[in-house]
Amino acid sequence: MNRQSYSQALYSQFARIGKAIASPRRLELLELLCQGPRSVETLAEEAGLSVANTSQHLQVLRSARLVNAERDGLYVIYSPAGEDVAAFLGTLRGLAESRLAEVVQVRREYLESRGTMEQVDSAVLVERVRDGEVTVLDVRPTEEYRAGHVPGAISVPLRELKRRLAALERGRDVVAYCRGPYCVLAVEAVEMLRAEGFTAFHLEDGVAELRAKGFTLAVGDGEDALE
Protein backbone atom coordinates (compact mmCIF):
# COMPACT_ATOMS: atom_id res chain seq x y z
CA MET A 1 0.00 0.00 0.00
CA ASN A 2 1.47 3.34 -1.04
CA ARG A 3 0.97 6.64 0.73
CA GLN A 4 -1.95 7.77 -1.41
CA SER A 5 -3.90 4.55 -1.10
CA TYR A 6 -3.20 4.53 2.65
CA SER A 7 -4.64 8.05 3.01
CA GLN A 8 -7.70 7.24 0.93
CA ALA A 9 -8.39 4.07 2.90
CA LEU A 10 -8.02 5.91 6.20
CA TYR A 11 -10.14 8.93 5.35
CA SER A 12 -12.80 6.72 3.82
CA GLN A 13 -13.27 5.21 7.26
CA PHE A 14 -13.44 8.65 8.88
CA ALA A 15 -16.05 9.64 6.30
CA ARG A 16 -18.32 6.80 7.47
CA ILE A 17 -19.02 8.79 10.64
CA GLY A 18 -19.75 11.92 8.65
CA LYS A 19 -22.16 10.10 6.36
CA ALA A 20 -23.95 8.50 9.31
CA ILE A 21 -24.67 11.83 11.00
CA ALA A 22 -25.38 13.77 7.80
CA SER A 23 -29.13 13.41 8.47
CA PRO A 24 -30.72 15.81 11.01
CA ARG A 25 -33.08 13.00 12.02
CA ARG A 26 -30.21 10.61 12.76
CA LEU A 27 -28.52 13.27 14.86
CA GLU A 28 -31.75 13.70 16.81
CA LEU A 29 -32.07 9.95 17.36
CA LEU A 30 -28.47 9.74 18.50
CA GLU A 31 -29.06 12.59 20.97
CA LEU A 32 -32.11 10.79 22.35
CA LEU A 33 -30.14 7.58 22.81
CA CYS A 34 -27.45 9.47 24.72
CA GLN A 35 -30.18 10.25 27.28
CA GLY A 36 -30.87 6.55 27.79
CA PRO A 37 -31.37 3.24 25.93
CA ARG A 38 -34.62 2.87 24.02
CA SER A 39 -36.56 0.52 21.80
CA VAL A 40 -37.23 1.40 18.18
CA GLU A 41 -40.88 1.98 19.02
CA THR A 42 -40.12 4.41 21.84
CA LEU A 43 -37.60 6.30 19.73
CA ALA A 44 -40.10 6.60 16.91
CA GLU A 45 -42.71 8.07 19.25
CA GLU A 46 -40.25 10.55 20.80
CA ALA A 47 -38.93 11.71 17.43
CA GLY A 48 -42.29 11.78 15.64
CA LEU A 49 -41.17 9.26 13.02
CA SER A 50 -42.62 6.00 11.76
CA VAL A 51 -41.15 2.81 13.22
CA ALA A 52 -39.93 1.77 9.77
CA ASN A 53 -38.16 5.09 9.16
CA THR A 54 -36.63 5.05 12.62
CA SER A 55 -35.36 1.53 12.10
CA GLN A 56 -33.70 2.53 8.82
CA HIS A 57 -31.93 5.47 10.47
CA LEU A 58 -30.74 3.24 13.32
CA GLN A 59 -29.29 0.75 10.88
CA VAL A 60 -27.18 3.51 9.34
CA LEU A 61 -25.95 4.59 12.78
CA ARG A 62 -25.24 0.99 13.70
CA SER A 63 -23.26 0.38 10.50
CA ALA A 64 -21.00 3.28 11.54
CA ARG A 65 -20.59 1.67 14.99
CA LEU A 66 -22.22 4.64 16.72
CA VAL A 67 -24.98 2.61 18.39
CA ASN A 68 -25.38 -0.90 19.77
CA ALA A 69 -28.48 -3.07 19.68
CA GLU A 70 -29.56 -5.83 22.07
CA ARG A 71 -32.69 -7.92 21.99
CA ASP A 72 -34.90 -7.79 25.06
CA GLY A 73 -37.78 -10.20 24.55
CA LEU A 74 -39.84 -8.93 21.66
CA TYR A 75 -38.00 -5.60 21.46
CA VAL A 76 -34.61 -4.45 20.21
CA ILE A 77 -33.04 -1.92 22.57
CA TYR A 78 -30.58 0.60 21.15
CA SER A 79 -27.91 2.52 23.09
CA PRO A 80 -24.82 4.60 22.28
CA ALA A 81 -21.77 2.51 21.45
CA GLY A 82 -19.77 4.27 24.17
CA GLU A 83 -19.38 7.44 26.22
CA ASP A 84 -17.22 8.85 23.45
CA VAL A 85 -20.34 9.09 21.26
CA ALA A 86 -21.95 11.58 23.66
CA ALA A 87 -18.64 13.45 23.91
CA PHE A 88 -18.49 13.62 20.11
CA LEU A 89 -22.02 15.06 19.94
CA GLY A 90 -21.08 17.67 22.53
CA THR A 91 -18.02 18.65 20.49
CA LEU A 92 -20.14 18.83 17.34
CA ARG A 93 -22.64 21.15 19.03
CA GLY A 94 -19.82 23.32 20.33
CA LEU A 95 -18.28 23.61 16.89
CA ALA A 96 -21.63 24.49 15.34
CA GLU A 97 -22.23 27.15 18.00
CA SER A 98 -18.83 28.74 17.41
CA ARG A 99 -18.91 28.64 13.59
CA LEU A 100 -22.60 29.02 12.71
CA ALA A 101 -24.34 32.16 13.90
CA GLU A 102 -27.63 30.63 12.80
CA VAL A 103 -27.50 28.15 15.69
CA VAL A 104 -27.56 30.90 18.30
CA GLN A 105 -30.09 32.90 16.30
CA VAL A 106 -32.59 30.04 16.02
CA ARG A 107 -32.39 29.34 19.74
CA ARG A 108 -32.66 33.01 20.69
CA GLU A 109 -35.70 33.53 18.48
CA TYR A 110 -37.41 30.51 20.00
CA LEU A 111 -36.80 31.62 23.58
CA GLU A 112 -37.73 35.23 22.90
CA SER A 113 -40.97 34.13 21.28
CA ARG A 114 -41.89 32.47 24.57
CA GLY A 115 -40.81 35.35 26.82
CA THR A 116 -37.68 35.75 28.92
CA MET A 117 -36.55 32.51 30.49
CA GLU A 118 -34.28 32.86 33.49
CA GLN A 119 -31.73 30.11 33.77
CA VAL A 120 -30.07 28.52 36.78
CA ASP A 121 -26.34 27.84 36.94
CA SER A 122 -25.65 24.14 37.54
CA ALA A 123 -23.19 24.77 40.39
CA VAL A 124 -25.69 27.07 42.11
CA LEU A 125 -28.41 24.47 41.66
CA VAL A 126 -26.28 21.83 43.39
CA GLU A 127 -25.87 24.05 46.43
CA ARG A 128 -29.55 24.96 46.56
CA VAL A 129 -30.61 21.31 46.34
CA ARG A 130 -28.16 20.40 49.10
CA ASP A 131 -29.65 23.14 51.26
CA GLY A 132 -33.19 21.95 50.53
CA GLU A 133 -34.16 25.26 48.97
CA VAL A 134 -35.63 24.13 45.65
CA THR A 135 -37.71 21.42 44.04
CA VAL A 136 -35.96 19.97 41.00
CA LEU A 137 -38.08 18.41 38.26
CA ASP A 138 -36.73 16.09 35.60
CA VAL A 139 -39.30 16.52 32.84
CA ARG A 140 -37.84 13.94 30.45
CA PRO A 141 -39.52 10.56 29.91
CA THR A 142 -39.18 8.16 32.84
CA GLU A 143 -36.71 5.83 31.09
CA GLU A 144 -34.29 8.73 30.65
CA TYR A 145 -34.59 9.64 34.33
CA ARG A 146 -33.79 6.07 35.32
CA ALA A 147 -30.70 6.04 33.10
CA GLY A 148 -29.25 9.07 34.89
CA HIS A 149 -30.59 12.12 36.70
CA VAL A 150 -29.74 14.95 39.07
CA PRO A 151 -29.68 13.44 42.57
CA GLY A 152 -32.72 14.64 44.47
CA ALA A 153 -34.69 15.41 41.29
CA ILE A 154 -38.28 14.23 40.97
CA SER A 155 -39.32 12.49 37.75
CA VAL A 156 -42.29 14.35 36.30
CA PRO A 157 -42.45 13.82 32.51
CA LEU A 158 -43.81 16.93 30.80
CA ARG A 159 -46.97 15.15 29.67
CA GLU A 160 -47.77 14.38 33.34
CA LEU A 161 -46.88 17.77 34.81
CA LYS A 162 -50.32 19.39 34.67
CA ARG A 163 -52.08 16.63 36.60
CA ARG A 164 -49.29 16.49 39.20
CA LEU A 165 -49.10 20.21 39.95
CA ALA A 166 -51.17 19.81 43.10
CA ALA A 167 -48.44 17.63 44.63
CA LEU A 168 -45.79 20.36 44.30
CA GLU A 169 -45.05 22.55 47.29
CA ARG A 170 -46.11 26.14 46.67
CA GLY A 171 -43.93 28.95 47.93
CA ARG A 172 -40.85 26.98 46.96
CA ASP A 173 -38.76 27.65 43.85
CA VAL A 174 -38.98 24.99 41.14
CA VAL A 175 -36.19 24.22 38.68
CA ALA A 176 -36.93 22.10 35.62
CA TYR A 177 -34.35 20.45 33.40
CA CYS A 178 -34.41 18.15 30.39
CA ARG A 179 -31.93 17.06 27.72
CA GLY A 180 -29.67 20.06 27.49
CA PRO A 181 -29.47 23.53 25.92
CA TYR A 182 -31.43 22.67 22.76
CA CYS A 183 -34.21 20.69 24.40
CA VAL A 184 -37.47 22.61 24.94
CA LEU A 185 -39.21 20.31 27.43
CA ALA A 186 -37.95 22.32 30.41
CA VAL A 187 -38.89 25.62 28.76
CA GLU A 188 -42.46 24.39 28.26
CA ALA A 189 -42.54 23.08 31.83
CA VAL A 190 -41.48 26.47 33.21
CA GLU A 191 -44.18 28.18 31.15
CA MET A 192 -46.80 25.86 32.61
CA LEU A 193 -45.51 26.28 36.15
CA ARG A 194 -45.42 30.06 35.95
CA ALA A 195 -48.93 30.14 34.52
CA GLU A 196 -50.02 28.26 37.65
CA GLY A 197 -48.34 30.74 39.98
CA PHE A 198 -45.08 28.92 40.72
CA THR A 199 -41.71 30.63 40.78
CA ALA A 200 -39.94 28.49 38.20
CA PHE A 201 -36.65 28.46 36.32
CA HIS A 202 -34.95 26.11 33.91
CA LEU A 203 -31.52 24.54 34.02
CA GLU A 204 -29.86 24.75 30.62
CA ASP A 205 -27.57 21.78 31.24
CA GLY A 206 -28.79 18.25 30.70
CA VAL A 207 -27.30 15.09 32.17
CA ALA A 208 -24.65 14.88 29.44
CA GLU A 209 -23.44 18.40 30.20
CA LEU A 210 -23.54 17.81 33.96
CA ARG A 211 -21.60 14.56 33.58
CA ALA A 212 -18.99 16.35 31.46
CA LYS A 213 -18.61 18.97 34.21
CA GLY A 214 -17.88 16.24 36.75
CA PHE A 215 -21.18 16.18 38.63
CA THR A 216 -22.26 12.86 40.14
CA LEU A 217 -25.55 11.58 38.74
CA ALA A 218 -27.98 9.09 40.21
CA VAL A 219 -29.59 6.15 38.40
CA GLY A 220 -32.79 4.20 38.99
CA ASP A 221 -36.07 5.37 40.48
CA GLY A 222 -34.96 6.69 43.86
CA GLU A 223 -34.44 10.26 44.94
CA ASP A 224 -30.90 10.51 46.31
CA ALA A 225 -28.97 13.18 48.17
CA LEU A 226 -26.38 15.12 46.22
CA GLU A 227 -22.82 13.93 46.66
Give the residue ranges of DSSP H helices in the chain: 3-20, 24-35, 40-47, 51-63, 83-99, 101-113, 122-130, 142-147, 158-164, 185-195, 207-212
The span from the first CA to the last CA of the chain, in angstroms, equals 54
Query: Which string of DSSP letters, residue by residue, matches 103-146?
Result: HHHHHHHHHHHT----EE-HHHHHHHHHTT-EEEEE-S-HHHHH
What type of residue sits at position 10?
L
Which residues carry out catalysis? 178
